[in-house]
Amino acid sequence: MGQKYRNRFTDPEIIKKIEKLEKSPQAQAKLQAVKNGMREKIKAPFYIGCLGIIIIGIIAIRINEFVFILIYLAWKFWSKYLKKNKEDIANAYIDNFLLPILKEILADTTINYFELMDLVILEKLVSDSDVYHSNCHIIFGDFYKTEFCNMESYHYREDSNGHKESVRDFTGQVLVAKIPTNINGHIRIVPVCKKNFLGHKNYGRYGNIRKDEEVFETESMAFNDAYSIFYTDDFYVPLILDPKILNILTNWKDKMRVCFYMNNKYISLAFESNEFLFSIPKTPKEVDDLSMAGEYEKIRWKLADFYNLINLIGEKL
């Protein structure tokens, strides 16, 4: 089944269909009107903010004793306005550029941009971070109900003056397919971040081997150089991780770090791309650059490889 979904994302005819749809006169007129509205909403906070400062300044001069109350009320209004304005821009982007192309591929896809992904899933992938943020929560309309999100994670440390500061550990994407795998425990494939002169591996915030885990060595030197496999399931780990699966992960190592986690309930992947995908436009230029086909290209190969991976694992199970 995973192969069928993979083919949907690699089919060149779908790209042509999206491009043709986008270039039609009706679509062009609609998208241009949407872009105009988005540009106005992006510019509006600047003008409203300037006007608000002037009005508050004039009132504060005349009614000095109420200035703090006035500032508090203005701040409350401003916070609500900015939140609503951001949601309006996000909805315009999702409803007109992102969701239509995803529904073209998988019709039952849904998007809740500001909904958070399950924290436990994120913690299993980058286990040594302290704080996790996610956005752009997409549930694809496939058999597995595959979930997508952008993720950023941090840990805290003290600087030389004893002040706590946050350090970014991960920026990228997470994909999760909730599949009953029947494995006992979990399998974790962690990217090697660096090695010392003795060849000892450092995994950064992806996390070192844990007390309950063992290490599985493959026959591929290229894979072993890029990843380590930690597991608690003696039976399934050699069965699942065949050369085809290892090749998919090995091919990713030159593009970005990838982390894999699998237990009895789901399979997940984290792509450390160092960028967010499907970000809400923040400037008029970003609005001008929007296109339906362009948004589709941002993710299709990640999804194609993910579905291929699920298909291969499903065959083993």
Residue 68 domain-assigned (yes or no): no
Number of structural domains in the chain: 1
> pLDDT tens-digit profile of 195-248?
877 778 888 899 999 999 999 988 888 899 999 999 998 888 877 778 888 888
Q: What is the pLDDT of residue 1?
A: 52
Q: Is the pLDDT at 175 greater than 60, yes or no? A: yes
> Please, which pLDDT band fits residue 97 given cuts at 50, 70 and 90?
confident
Give the closest residue to 295 by CA, choosing from 35, 92, 58, 97: 97
Give the closest residue to 205 by CA, choosing from 267, 152, 134, 268: 152
Q: What is the pLDDT of residue 59?
A: 65
- List the helix and strand counts (H, then E) for the chain: 12, 11
How far is Cα 71 from Cα 239, in angstroms, rounded to an integer? 65
Residue 288 domain-assigned (yes or no): no
Rg value, the chain, Cα = 24
Task: Find all residues with CB under 8 Å of 207, minimum gap 6, and list them.
Answer: 126, 127, 128, 188, 190
Beta bridge partners of 259: 270
Q: What is the pLDDT of residue 268?
A: 93
> pLDDT tens-digit profile of 28-63?
888 889 888 888 888 877 777 776 677 666 666 666
> Please, which pLDDT band fits residue 76 given cuts at 50, 70 and 90?
confident
Residue 59 domain-assigned (yes or no): no
Counting residues of the chain whose pLDDT is more than 70, the rounded percentage is 91
Residue 265 token pair: 């309930």
The answer to whether the pTM exceeds 0.75 is yes
Residue 255 domain-assigned (yes or no): yes
What is the domain extent for residue 126? 114-279
Task: Find all residues with CB under 8 Å of 232, minimum gap 6, and list them.
Answer: 184, 185, 186, 187, 212, 213, 214
DSSP, res 85: H
Give the closest residue to 272 by CA, choosing from 253, 244, 299, 251: 253
- Of the two residues 5 and 231, the one the predictor is more confident about is 231
DSSP, res 98: I
Q: What is the pLDDT of residue 110?
A: 94
How far is Cα 153 from Cα 118, in angstroms, rounded to an integer? 14
Chain-wide mean pLDDT for the chain? Answer: 84
Task: Find all residues with CB under 8 Å of 294, minimum gap 6, and list them.
Answer: none
Q: Which ranges of 156-299 does DSSP label H, i.e. alpha helix?
A: 221-226, 236-240, 243-252, 284-288, 292-297
Q: What is the pLDDT of residue 297?
A: 78
How far is Cα 183 from Cα 313, in angstroms, rounded to an integer? 12
**CA angle centred on 308, ends 4 and 189, rounded to 5°:** 155
Residue 256 domain-assigned (yes or no): yes
- Are the C-beta atoms of 67 and 60 separated by less than 8 Å? yes
- Of the two residues 92 and 75, the one the predictor is more confident about is 92
Q: What is the pLDDT of residue 132?
A: 96
> pLDDT tens-digit profile of 108-155?
999 999 999 999 999 999 999 999 999 999 999 888 888 999 999 999
DSSP, res 64: G
How far is Cα 273 from Cα 284, in angstroms, rounded to an integer? 25
Q: What is the pLDDT of residue 262?
A: 92
Beta bridge partners of 173: 150, 271
Q: What is the pLDDT of residue 134?
A: 95
Dmax over Cα atoms in the chain, in whole Å? Answer: 80
How far is Cα 252 from Cα 311, in angstroms, rounded to an integer? 18
Residue 26 domain-assigned (yes or no): no
Residue 107 domain-assigned (yes or no): no
Residue 304 domain-assigned (yes or no): no
